[in-house]
Chain A
Amino acid sequence: MKTNDIGSFQRAYEKTYPILIRVSYNVVGDMDIAEDLCQEAFIRFYKREIPFPNLNEAKYWLIRVVKNLSLNYQKRKVREYKALEKVYNEPKRPQESGEGELLKKETNHLVRQALEKLPEKFRMVLVLKEYGQLNYKEIGKILRISEGNVKVRVFRAREQLEKLLKQEEVYVP
């Protein structure tokens, strides 16, 4: 499929954008930045002159680009992140009041904080698994590792995350 054909471009966009924005947001933790990075990925996709054999290969390429852009951004900002104990730029949602909602927000914040504390290779497989709706084989293609390696990393990521959540005493409804 040609990346500069409007029909193919739109099909790729519709199919992959939801995955890309979820993955990017859960790496960088900022909705505006995540959108910028996803847009950058699609601009690069459009400019790419080598066509893809099919839509799935295009999807894997886009996810790989967004993953790299997001990780690079996050590394640049990590010092500021730690110093300011930054609160995530929450996606814009209708405001609800009440203790329950506050607890939910706090829980969400703690979960994302725990996710960020994971080593990069564990965090990435978990983000791709939980937010990318990808199977082990697809994750392996994107990260260029074996399926077996994906399986082990997902398991270890979950183990570590659970330990971190217990430390934070995250409320589980």
Chain B
Amino acid sequence: MCPDREVLSAYLDGEVDIKWAKEIQKHLSECQSCSEYLGSLKKTRSLLSRAGAVPEEESRRRSWAAIQEQLEDVEPSFFRRRFQLPAPLAAAAAALLLFFSGAFIYNMNPGRQPVMVSAPAVMEAPVAASISAEDMLRVLSLLESAYTESQVVMFELPTDSVFELQGEPQMIQAVDYDREDQ
């Protein structure tokens, strides 16, 4: 009994189980009709192969050169992306630096005495910088003069590194649903 032509097509592609392949091979040696059909499939394959041939090696080299040229435009932007901090992270880093450190601000304008403004290293809740009114006025005057004079402003971190957070931050208080007073 002849196998389906669909099976012969799969046999040509090597997609038939080895056990069935042996059976089909044996059948082909005895059946002229199936043998001719398989022959016509092989001829069609041969025609397709000749009609669709391309100079692969030459094309491969040509395309590689073209891709390299295009990637030279792409690569710099990719390189820049690697070294950029995401904006939220950069903002958080800057905020932490100002928020948790005691700072001394110097006005380095020649002829004027440096203005020292300090904030305490220990922050008490609610979380906010503690600064005297007098110091605040000095900061404001510095900022104002920055628009009219050329100045160098330096932030100096405290020499001791004891940082203590006292009190519960307001944000945590706000979201703490287990608190009895809520």
Contacts and interface: CB of A to CB of B under 8 A. Distances in A.
A119 to B, nearest CB: 17
B74 interface: yes
Contacts of B15: 135-136, 151
Interface in B1-30: 5-6, 9-10, 13-15
B67 to A, nearest CB: 5
Interface residues of B, number: 34
A31 B59 contact: yes
A152 B6 contact: yes
B62 A4 contact: no
A111 interface: yes
A53 interface: no
B50 A155 contact: no
A122 interface: no
Contact of A39 (B5, B14, B70): B70
Report the interface size class on chain A. Answer: 35 or more
Interface string B53-66: 11110111011101
B147 interface: no
B63 A18 contact: no
A97 B55 CA distance: 19
A93 B50 contact: no
A87 to B, nearest CB: 13
B52 A25 contact: yes
B74 A43 contact: yes
9 contacts: A17-B63, A21-B56, A35-B63, A38-B63, A91-B53, A91-B55, A109-B51, A135-B14, A158-B44
Interface of A: 4, 13, 17-18, 21-22, 25-26, 31, 34-35, 38-39, 42-43, 46-47, 91-93, 104, 107-109, 111-112, 115, 126-127, 129-131, 135-136, 151-152, 154-155, 158-159, 161-162, 165, 170, 172
A158 B43 CA distance: 11
B17 to A, nearest CB: 13
A158 B39 CA distance: 13
B177 interface: no
B78 to A, nearest CB: 7
A25 B54 contact: yes
Contacts of B41: 158
B59 A39 contact: no
Nearest to B6: A155
B56 A111 contact: no
Given A25-B54, A39-B63, A46 B10 contact: no
